[in-house]
Amino acid sequence: MDNKNYEIRRDYVEGQEVLLALLETDRAKVESALAVLANDPWPRQFSAKQLGENVVKITVPVEDDEIVVLYDVDVYESTIDLITIKRRGPFKKASDWLTGLVKFEPKGK
């Protein structure tokens, strides 16, 4: 980790309405996670994953849901451009349900 402070830019972020629709406490969690990015663009506490050359994904747990944030890191200009903010709740519930079906074993005769 370097000692730079990164500028977080929201100029072209998609999904800003997801952030605004959250409860006040959940919105504060996501905003604090975004603030952490200014000092550490790859925070381990939010399971940061490198998706491309410069694109990183973090997952912020909120009450009964998860918020996924995609962003682009430019280490040379010390900037972070937010790309997408979205909820994972419906997809996570569906995948948990499908996982449960796969584990289901009917009793034989």
| pLDDT at res. 69 | 94
Burial 60-99 (b: 16+ CB within 10 A, else e): bebeeeebbbbbbbeeeeeebbbbbbebbeeeeeeeeeee
DSSP state letter for 51: -
CATH number of this structure's domain 7-103, picked from the four choices 1.10.620.20, 3.40.30.10, 3.30.2310.20, 3.30.200.20: 3.30.2310.20
* pTM across the whole model: 0.75
Rounded average pLDDT per 10-residue block, the chain, 109 residues: 81 89 91 93 92 92 89 93 86 63 63
Q: Domain boundaries in the chain? A: 7-103
| pLDDT at res. 92 | 59
Return all residues near 54 (Cβ < 8 A) that are at least 6 apart.
72, 73, 74
Residue 37's Cβ-side half-sphere holds a number of Cα atoms within 13 Å equal to: 30
| pLDDT at res. 65 | 85
Number of residues assigned to the chain: 109
| pLDDT at res. 82 | 94
β partners of residue 9: 81
